[in-house]
Amino acid sequence: MKIIKKILDLIQLLTEYVLFVMVAAMVVIVFAQVIWRFILHASLPWSEEAARYLMVWMSMLGSSIALRKKGHIGVEALVMLFPAPVKKAVSFLTTLVAAGFFVGIIHYGIKVLKVVAPQESPAMEISMAIPYGALVVGGVLMLLYSIEELNALISSNKGGAHS
């Protein structure tokens, strides 16, 4: 399992670098659009579309990082009242439901990709599979991180009374 954790750590690191590049690109694109529009009195027809698609990708990739770092919001007030074994069971159940949801995102994301792949975006004229691909990639990452969490929860239960 240590090899899998190292692979997931590497995937997370690469995802964080990709996110950094995407944020930087979005800042440059939006700044350029402002300069073009208000100083040069022209516009870049592709800038808003590019920024929108970058935002979609950043949302999906960022969600996967937040999931792995346990950064998503949760309602813990009720769960904190439960004894430790019930907390673990609730955590396992919610992670299992989330993993099922991510399988659904991947499944339907692939179906959508088949429909939109031949379509081109209006301004940039790229395949719509590029922006919609964020669903599949983000879904796969979140599923992998959910499986990692499920494995950790199962492993902590095998530890006995000391876990």
* Average predicted confidence (pLDDT) for the chain: 92
Tokens of 141: 């990452």
Evaluate whether 50 touches 29 at the Cβ level (below 8 Å): yes
Residue range 92-105: average pLDDT?
A: 97
- Model confidence at 163, in pLDDT bands (50, 70, 90)? very low
**Per-residue pLDDT at 75 exceeds 90:** no
Rg for the chain (alpha carbons), in Å? Answer: 20
Mean pLDDT of 86-113: 96
Handedness of CA 92, 96, 98, 102 (dihedral sign): positive
